[in-house]
Amino acid sequence: MHHRTAVRVVCLTLAAAGLAACTVSRSNDSSARSSAEEAPPAATSDSAGDPYYPEDGNPGYDVTAYHVKISYDPPKQALRGDTLVTAKASTSLPEFNLDLQGLEVSAVTVGGEEAKFTREGDHELVITPAEPIAQGDTFETRVQYSGTPESAEAGSLGENGWQRSSSGGAFAAGEPHSATSWYPANDTPRDKATFKLDARVPNGWSVVSNGLESPATPGNDGWTTFHWNEPNRVATYLTTVGIDKWTFERSTLPSGVPVVSAYAPGAEGKKSVESRLPEIIAFLESKFGPYPQSAAGGIYINENIGFSLETQGRPIYAAWAEEPVVVHENAHQWYGNSVTVDQWKDICLNECFASYAQWLWDEAKYGANLDEQYRTEVARSTGHLWTGKLYDMGAGNEFTAVYEKGPLALHALRREIGDEAFNKVLKEWPTRYRDDNASWSDFEKLVTETSGKDLTAFFDAWFRGDAQPADEFLYPGPLRK
């Protein structure tokens, strides 16, 4: 995700200075401490156990696949949905929950048998199958529903979830919530699954989503169905749908990965920005390793929302997004999408690294001197910059310090452990945890392993602290004049 204010502050900074790589390490003692700190609370019947969002997600099963079918009438803002959720039970399930906001459920089946269901709270769909599901069984839940989708909530960067566009279409985007405003899901980043979408809209409208595109199928009723399939596992908040009168551009990366970019009415001028995508992905591959997604591209909306978002393989860009944001959101395809946070307090693993990727891009492409940029940013900083924590920052504070303090911290880490170790870490992290979840503790362990250095105090000062680091950590190695 890229915050609009942060984009403007950081991007101006980047253009003026240079970029470098970052490094991190830690000691065995701090690794043990961090592992204890990050042990998740026991999940309750309607919680995946994230302390920041205790009502999100559900335990007892692992979703392996979503097949979402929707029909949407833009003038009426009316949605009809028919979603199949395939999951494996990790315990016996006499009942289980899915997350779904607002929409009216008309029928639920489990394994083809009619199931009882009730609604609890704002988003819990409680399902009682005809027979309890045995531990280890794979089961299919079909939910049929309809209504007018609503946004999930107003987050710190703006509305989350289903949003109506100025052209009369609609799109879904938001972090940490978005998916459950338009389909039932186990809404936690810990439960990643494949995602398939069949979206039916009136002729003249079109649909863009994640993954691989199949040819649209026109009906005899004035409606057309669009087909998208993401074969890589994806966290729910990284799924999307965009319904509009899109202008599509299609191409292929040198590696053979298909590229589909879509432009809403009024956003066609962004084609020049998106034209650098192959170069950007090639650069990021040089830093992070092979591109990890099934497809690439971008979704350019003509809306001044407060953020752009790294929806898997095909980011959503607000009207103000420019080249640095394309770098940022595509860096997330490794840091955040392929390797996904274990808990939301680990969000620096996403945002600090995507923000620092902008620094690296400016260093490589524009000759930015990152050491000078770093010193300039530290010199002009105020107390507000330092009070934000980068790890375990508290619910509602995830998307604050990570954009400005985050790249400073990573540049200091790079200078602390050296380019060789840092560059090795940058590639090893998305290789070791590809298509998985990982925590900040896991990252510190990797850096310790790679650098052989005890950086307990360094990590405490930069990532766990809420004050300006002492000079020994603020100006490591060549940063010290």
* Res 43: pLDDT: 38
Pair 123, 101: CB distance under 8 Å: yes
Which pLDDT belongs to residue 155?
60
Q: How far is CA 261 from CA 159, 264, 325, 421, in A?
A: 23, 10, 15, 36
Each residue of 70-94: pLDDT tens digit? 999 999 999 999 999 999 999 999 9
Read off the pLDDT of residues 395-440 as tens digits, 9 standing for 90 and up. Answer: 888 999 999 999 999 999 999 999 999 999 999 999 999 999 999 9
Predicted local confidence at residue 40, as pLDDT: 44
Of 436, 441, 467, residue with least CA distance to 456 = 441
Higher pLDDT, 133 or 24: 133
Computed over every residue of the chain, the mean pLDDT equals 90
Question: Residue 171: in which H helix or E strand, if any?
Answer: strand 170-173
Alpha-carbon distance of 393 to 369, in angstroms, equals 30
Q: What's the pLDDT score for residue 480?
A: 85
Cis-peptide, bond into residue 430, ω within 30° of zero? no
Is residue 218's pLDDT more than 50? yes
Contacts of 154 (CB under 8 A, 6+ apart): 160
Measured CA to CA, the distance from residue 430 to residue 291 in angstroms comes to 10
Q: Is the pLDDT of residue 33 over 80?
A: no
- Look at residue 121 in the predicted model and tell me its pLDDT: 86
| 309-350 confidence digits (pLDDT tens) | 999 999 999 999 999 999 999 999 999 999 999 999 999 999
pLDDT score of 25 more than 60: no
> If you average pLDDT over residues 207-224, what whole number do you get?
97
Q: Tell me the pLDDT band of 3, cut-offs 50, 70 and 90.
A: low
Residue 212: predicted pLDDT? 98
Q: Is the confidence at residue 46, as pLDDT, over 80?
A: no
Q: How many CB atoms lie within 10 A of CB 387?
A: 14
Domains annotated for the chain, with CATH where assigned, are 2-40+343-479 (1.10.390.10), 61-331 (2.60.40.1730)
What number is the average pLDDT over the span 104-117?
A: 98
191-204: burial string, b at 16+ Cβ within 10 Å, e else: bbbbbbbbbbbbee
Q: For residue 276, which of 320, 327, 238, 241 has the smallest C-alpha distance?
A: 327
Measure Cα distances from 16 to 12, 62, 420 in Å: 6, 47, 26
Rounded CA-CA distance 248/229 in Å is: 17
User: Please, what sign has the CA dihedral across residues 365, 371, 373, 374?
Assistant: positive
Residue 62: enclosing H or E segment and its boundaries? strand 61-73
For residue range 248-288, list pLDDT tens digits in order. 999 999 999 999 999 999 999 999 999 999 999 999 999 99
**Backbone phi and psi for residue 106, each to the nearest 5 degrees, phi listed first:** -105, -25
pTM of this structure: 0.90
48 against 248, higher pLDDT? 248
